[in-house]
Chains A and B, each alone.
Chain A
Amino acid sequence: AQSVTQLDSQVPVFEEAPVELRCNYSSSVSVYLFWYVQYPNQGLQLLLKYLSGSTLVKGINGFEAEFNKSQTSFHLRKPSVHISDTAEYFCAVSEQGGSEKLVFGKGTKLTVNP
């Protein structure tokens, strides 16, 4: 069965600084990878996903992530964050050819300070 580890539960940064949120996964088969964002008092929404092809994936709001199969990682990056990026970010994995269920990491709370 697949699993996801988000290495940082909280990440505080200053506005306009770069940020990286780390995600590692474990699976015995090939996977699809996702990042979801949850703004305060809202449901989750998809930020970006990797299904196949280019390992660098671009998402909404200037975020991007890189799939690294050898390191089983899918880290999320943004070169310059805004106050409005303050939210909780969840990495998720789904096994190719499996039951098409998502397994979520425990989340990383990003706080952008002025």
Chain B
Amino acid sequence: DADVTQTPRNRITKTGKRIMLECSQTKGHDRMYWYRQDPGLGLRLIYYSFDVKDINKGEISDGYSVSRQAQAKFSLSLESAIPNQTALYFCATSEPGLAGKYTDTQYFGPGTRLTVL
């Protein structure tokens, strides 16, 4: 079974609708991230969370909100979807840096392809 899962894998919705993308992980990592990927733009960070009580805005948080329901679950919401939010969305997790070392290898889910009409 995959360590990082995302649901749904594909979603088509209309402008103005509220959408929630869900991410679950079985890796036991404290840190979770949401990115969006657009062709030719790479990955851009939307929100990240270092533990259940710690939520931080990333580079492009406008129009998005998140909820960290538990260590294993991190949801991304689009309160009122618009067409330029059409993209591929990835959830990722990472381990904290070990004493004296820093790893920050991130483990990615398979992605959710969202289309807003």
Contacts and interface: CB of A to CB of B under 8 A. Distances in A.
Interface stretch (B41-49, B65-73, B78-86): B41-49
Contacts of B58: 101
A2 to B, nearest CB: 12
Interface residues of A, number: 25
Interface residues of B, number: 25
Interface string B54-78: 0010100000000000000000000
B4 A43 contact: yes
Contacts of A71: none
A31 to B, nearest CB: 11
B9 to A, nearest CB: 10
B108 A105 contact: no
B103 A106 contact: no
